[in-house]
Chain A
Amino acid sequence: MTTTDSTQALAADRAATSRTSASSAQKSASANLNVIKAINAGLRRSMENDVKVLVMGEDVGKLGGVFRVTDGLQKDFGEDRVIDTPLAESGIVGTAIGLALRGYRPVCEIQFDGFVMPAFDQIVSQVAKMHFRSGGRLRLPIVIRIPYGGSIGAVEHHSESPEAYFAHTPGLKVVTCSNPVDAYWMIQQAIELDDPVVFFEPKRRYYEKADVDLDGSPDLPLESARVVVPGTDATVATYGPMVKTCLDAASAAAEDGRSLEVIDLRTLSPLDLTSVYDSVRRTGRLVMVHEAQRTLGIGAEVAARVTEECFYSLEAPVQRVTGYDTPYPPARVEEEYLPDLDRVLDAVDRTFGF
């Protein structure tokens, strides 16, 4: 593929992803939304469709959440359905379990990634295991929303990427959106699911905008990856906040004549790696990118599976571009910790060095 081809493909695919096409613009139900407003619209639609759907968390009512994801929901659906909770994460998830057992479908907001830890026991020991424990008799259709990731200049516990803990836990589904269109549909799909879902929201991408066709239907099932931009020279697999970083890297690589295929995993448990295997069999090279620390992260699992499935196609070892195995650092040095365009391209270069 030539540079021009690659750039065009990139542009075309992005257009498809964000659904900015003329056809959707003709519909009155299309709106230009950022990720926050897209999730808000998705929540609203789920609450309209099913009176059992509840929203609960700290500051989700009058304030609309610290990021305003639940803005206006309490006004429209009342205090019984949009519940301002005490400041206690274990309580949020623990009571959501009881509500789910009574037939409700709670959507819990954990205010920041690092604050999910007080709820860890309820999520891992109870939410994840109740269906199994009961021999399939009990279902917990709970969604736990967690804004995650860094690059927002925050203090400790506000920039972490704890997704691997949950993906490591059988019984939980773990998904993450990377753009407004997916945010709108994936939150609704997660709420409809009868399994518990941990829903990670890329907070540094909260203000990214795209046209969202509010009346259409999702183009993918929840538990599936998406090839965001096709390419031929190397595969870059990523998710959440790093999707945009990798798309930027693909654009830059295209200018240098190198064609990168970028895959947004979207679902971390279960992993959907079919498109990654297909891609690696063509490109022979895989770079896995995430903000979370490296060791035993999602990238390690992807690397292991790609090695198992694509051993004879690999031209180079799978490269990982990740946060470092340190606690999340102070904000003034976080950009050194976080993967960026240059580190992604550097890893791509390395795959050509074997």
Chain B
Amino acid sequence: MTVETVADAAGGAPPEPELVQLLTPEGQRVANDHYDALIADITGDDVRGMYRDLVLARRVDSEAVALQRQGELGLWASLLGQEAAQVGSARALRQQDHVFPTYREHGVALCCGVDPLRLLALFRGVDQGLWDPNETRFHLYTIVVGAQTLHATGYAMGVQRDGAIGTGDPDRDAAVIAYFGDGASSQGDVNESFIWASVTNAPVVFFCQNNQWAISEPLERQTRVPLYRRAGGFGFPGVRVDGNDVLACLAVTREALQRARDGEGPTLVEAFTYRMGAHTTTDDPTRYRLNADLEHWKLKDPIERVRAYMIRGDLADQAFLDEVEAESEQLAVHLRAACRELPDPTPTSIFDHVYVEPTPDLVAQRDAMTAYLDSFAEEVAR
């Protein structure tokens, strides 16, 4: 693992960051003794499985963008271009690991078994996240960027207190992973979570998807050093991985999670990628970035390289690719219909779950709302 020290980061002009890559944009497998060992167990089935995840994640995303354009969603935050970072890292998780996402981790959600319809429901404005974080281990989307890194760290401190690290039992030892972006790396909470995780040696992996854009702010507005090098200053290892390489993301995250489970503390993973779409459906990236950049990154597409790798290595045939395509189409058709059928919440449901038990004030306000709404029904009846 690439461990940068404070001295490395401090001395003069920084050298070109080392990028862990196992699959070139052309789909060629790059040999790397250290990281190859970490994914030596990965079979053709596993690769095909990840390809399927990548395709489905992109399909959920493109369908959601379309639904927003049709007025069925209020907003959508596209993951286009970040599929490999999400699928690769998520496939490194074990059953007992927990995930604290921001609001763009649709691919991770899919891998954790969250029904994508639940993601649509949130962006449609039906609810604010009704999947079960305990069952899926995928916690609720956090919209204030960076706040969840502290929740992840606290959760990891709980894992420590439960004695669920360093026992050597692969079914018991647990890790926590916090997803965030290059923009969030400037937040105080992210920096505080680095400090807490470091001094408590918490079993947490900080997985930064550096998509190089925080809405319109480019990476150079957030940092003067490669983000993964920040870890050195906090006292734990940082590594930069090709975020468009699903195998490399899998290998790097596996290693980081295992360090956490073994009681060796936090790791910062910087998945270097690119936000191919807009920040959200309300954003217009043509105002602040060049089309040439986009074209450049299209050549590094995270799905195409896996497809090329599979074809090249006879890991998949056309029948398999067609099968995945058909499945993704089926999912899209389902989501399109199911999204439209999501029922709106009833007006008085806003009073539910403010507290565990409703307070007298809230009961009174709910009753007043009910009476007010009923008064219209009575008028109609008359």
Contacts and interface: CB of A to CB of B under 8 A. Distances in A.
B355 A195 contact: yes
Interface stretch (A29-37, A64-72, A85-93, A201-209): A85-93
Interface string A90-103: 11011111111111
A94 B193 contact: yes
Interface stretch (A2-10, A130-138, A145-153, A244-252): A130-138
A139 B353 CA distance: 10
B133 A95 contact: no
Interface string B321-339: 0000000000000000000
Interface of B is mostly: helix
B161 A137 contact: no
B354 A270 contact: no
Given A91-B196, A98-B156, A135 B353 contact: yes
Interface string B158-171: 11111000000000
A119 to B, nearest CB: 10
A48 interface: no
Interface in A178-229: 193-195, 223
B250 to A, nearest CB: 25
B144 interface: yes
Contacts of B152: 98
B151 A270 contact: no
B154 interface: yes
Interface stretch (A121-129, A292-300, A322-330): A121-129
B360 A99 contact: no
B133 A101 contact: yes
Interface in B136-164: 139-140, 142, 144, 147, 149-162
Given A90-B188, A98-B155, A132-B128, A126 B144 contact: yes
Contact of A170 (B151, B162, B354): B354
A88 B144 contact: no
Contacts of B304: none
Contact of B151 (A98, A104, A173, A194): A98
Nearest to B350: A132
B352 interface: yes
B147 A99 contact: no
> Which of the listed residues B140, B147, B154 has the most CB atoms from chain A within 10 Å of its own CB?
B154
Nearest to A101: B155
A194 B355 CA distance: 9
Given A121-B147, A125-B144, A271-B361, A94 B189 contact: yes
A122 B147 CA distance: 7
A300 B189 CA distance: 34
Nearest to A96: B154
A88 B161 contact: no
Interface residues of B, number: 44
B151 A94 contact: yes
A139 B149 CA distance: 19
Given A94-B151, A138-B140, A171 B355 contact: yes
Nearest to A305: B361
Contacts of A121: 144, 147, 189
Nearest to B154: A98
Tier of interface size on chain A? 35 or more
B40 interface: no
A134 B355 contact: no
Contacts of B223: none
B153 A94 contact: yes
B189 A90 contact: yes
B361 A138 contact: no
B158 A132 contact: no
Nearest to B202: A95
B192 A97 contact: no
Given A95-B154, A121-B144, A131-B354, A101 B193 contact: no
B128 A133 contact: yes
B359 interface: yes
B285 interface: no
A223 B133 CA distance: 30
A121 B187 CA distance: 12
A48 B162 CA distance: 18
B354 A133 contact: no
Interface in B24-82: none
A125 B143 CA distance: 10
Contacts of B157: 95, 98-99, 102
A80 interface: yes
Contacts of B147: 94, 121-122, 125-126
B373 interface: no
A292 to B, nearest CB: 20
Nearest to B129: A133
Contacts of B362: 270
Contacts of A126: 142, 144, 147, 151
Contacts of A99: 154-155, 157-158, 161
Given A122-B147, A126-B147, A103 B158 contact: yes
Contact of A134 (B140, B149, B162): B140
A132 B353 contact: yes
Nearest to B143: A125
Contacts of B188: 90, 118
A94 B192 contact: yes
Interface string A254-291: 00000000000000001100000000000000000000
Contacts of A138: 133, 140
B367 interface: no
B195 interface: yes
B199 A86 contact: yes
B200 to A, nearest CB: 8
B367 to A, nearest CB: 15
Contacts of A270: 359-362
A80 B355 contact: no
Contacts of A90: 150, 188-189, 192
B129 A134 contact: yes
Contacts of B129: 133-135
7 contacts: A85-B196, A91-B153, A93-B150, A94-B150, A98-B150, A98-B153, A193-B356
The 6 A-B pairs at the shortest CB distance, nearest first, are namely A98-B154, A94-B150, A102-B158, A95-B154, A98-B155, A136-B353
Given A100-B154, A173-B355, 17 more contacts: A90-B150, A90-B188, A91-B189, A95-B150, A97-B151, A98-B176, A101-B158, A103-B158, A104-B158, A104-B161, A131-B353, A132-B128, A135-B352, A136-B356, A137-B133, A193-B356, A195-B355
